[in-house]
Amino acid sequence: MSGAQSPAVPALRRAHIDHAALAANLRHVLDTVRPAAVMAVVKADAYGHGAVEVARTAVAAGAEWLGVADVDEALALRDAGIEAPVLAWLHGPDPDFAEAVARDVTLGISTAGQLARAVAAGAPEAPARVHLKVDTGLGRNGLGREEWRTVFEAAAAAEAAGRIRVEGLFSHLSGASPDDDLAQLAAFEEATSLARSLGLDPGLRHLASTAGALSLPATRLDLVRLGIGLYGHSPFDDRTAAELGLVPAMRLESRLISVKHVAAGTGVSYGYTHHVERDSWLGLVPLGYADGIPRHVSNTGSVWVGGRVHPIVGRVAMDQFVVELGEHEARVGDRVVLFGDPSAPEAAPERYPGADDWARAASTITWEIVTRLGRRVERVHS
């Protein structure tokens, strides 16, 4: 794996992606869900980790499928020479699927209109490969129950004419509660029976993302769509990644670019939302909301500097934020870990904050913390 700099030389802003962790997470989930297969979800640039790099590692570790939101993301994988099956499930209002079909991208179909476009793009020598998506209760993407029959009939007719091949049927869980998810599973079984009664044979049935795959074995079916777990994070509020046997794959690092000693009472950053209580060292970190640092971690988040965790004080700005170091006299150039693997032994005596700690500090979810990192953050793969 290559990066602009060796991992030994900290960059201004760098996300280090640990491919051994990605592979271990993939294998761990695969071992847990077998005989179900795993689709590695690499949409949104693999949640900020780098889609092409993550896809290669996931396939090598045993992912049979790759999943993305839109066709352009799938074609970027094909451009990189990745040949594994790819499913793309989110489309514009009047999609042209010709290139997707030509390059063997499987289409997730959520509307009658999308099905018509897939049929138009397919031909007997190269039928469009589709997975029909049914809404079983999430209230989001997918065929509404009242359209199941007509769309299944149209799909069966198009399949008989050789224009498409219906290889899969899928849906997505709300995670509202185990009972809600099991009700969706029951609705999914109804959709399956209806599809089969109309002549379809969707060999690959999939419903679960990370949360369902790890907590509701009945939802694993033929394939689980693994997103956040691949990146080493827990989808649950009450269980950590370590408890699930997952290793966070991203470590976001920087260096202090300014250090100064200030007197008690000094106001910090825009609006003086923080005043230091006693004479203290302050360090400046060159990441801000332009880099995906949530402004909501102002005065609530913390980072690791030289073995100790210190609070983010004052408002996060576009390009920078301030850390209160107290009596800890740091130096310009000292390494800062914003978040990483809290179990990493090299962080001692304290732990690296986790992306989940950041999510709590920003009142959001771990998915958003890693995915929102900006373009100025260099990704280094190893």
Compare residues 101 and 134 and give the one whose CB is closer to ligand PLP: 134
Does residue 250 have a known ligand-binding role? Answer: no
Asked if 91 interacts with ligand PLP (CB under 6 A), we say no
Annotated catalytic residue 133: no
Asked if 227 interacts with ligand PLP (CB under 6 A), we say yes
Compare residues 147 and 368 and give the one whose CB is closer to ligand PLP: 368
- Say if residues 255 and 241 touch (Cβ distance below 8 Å): no
- Say if residues 377 and 15 touch (Cβ distance below 8 Å): yes
Asked if 377 interacts with ligand PLP (CB under 6 A), we say no
Of 28-36, 203-211, 298-306, 354-362, the segment contacting ligand PLP by CB under 6 A is 203-211
From the list 38, 228, 276, 282, which residue makes contact with ligand PLP (rule: CB under 6 A)?
228
From the list 25, 114, 209, 371, which residue makes contact with ligand PLP (rule: CB under 6 A)?
209
From the list 49, 129, 225, 255, which residue makes contact with ligand PLP (rule: CB under 6 A)?
225
Contact flags string 158-187 toward ligand PLP, x per CB under 6 A: --------------x---------------
Peptide bond into 35 cis (omega under 30): yes
Element (H, E) at 280: strand 280-285
Helix, coil or strand: residue 157:
helix
Alpha-carbon distance 152 to 192, whole Å? 10
Size of the site for ligand PLP (CB under 6 A): 13
Asked if 41 interacts with ligand PLP (CB under 6 A), we say yes
- Say if residues 209 and 203 touch (Cβ distance below 8 Å): no
Q: Which of 47, 231, 260, 270 is catalytic?
A: 270
Asked if 226 interacts with ligand PLP (CB under 6 A), we say yes
DSSP conformation letters of 211-278: HHHHH-GGG-TTEEEESTTTTT--S-SSS-HHHHT----EEEEEE--EEEEE-TT-EETGGG-EE-SS
Alpha-carbon distance 113 to 159, whole Å? 16
Compare residues 170 and 289 and give the one whose CB is closer to ligand PLP: 170
Element (H, E) at 204: strand 204-206
Count, residues in the chain = 382
Residue found under tokens 């794959």: 249
Compare residues 70 and 378 and give the one whose CB is closer to ligand PLP: 70
How near is the Cβ of 257 to ligand PLP at its closest, in Å?
34
Does residue 351 have a known ligand-binding role? Answer: no
Contact flags string 112-151 toward ligand PLP, x per CB under 6 A: ----------------------------------------
Provide the H-helix boundaries in 133-229. 148-160, 178-197, 210-215
Of 96-104, 187-195, 226-234, 265-273, the segment contacting ligand PLP by CB under 6 A is 226-234
Buried b (16+ CB within 10 A) or exposed e, 72-92: ebbbbbbeeebebbbbbbebe
Binding residues: 140, 318
Contacts to ligand PLP by CB under 6 A? 41, 43, 89, 172, 209-211, 225-229, 235
Residues acting as catalytic residues: 43, 270
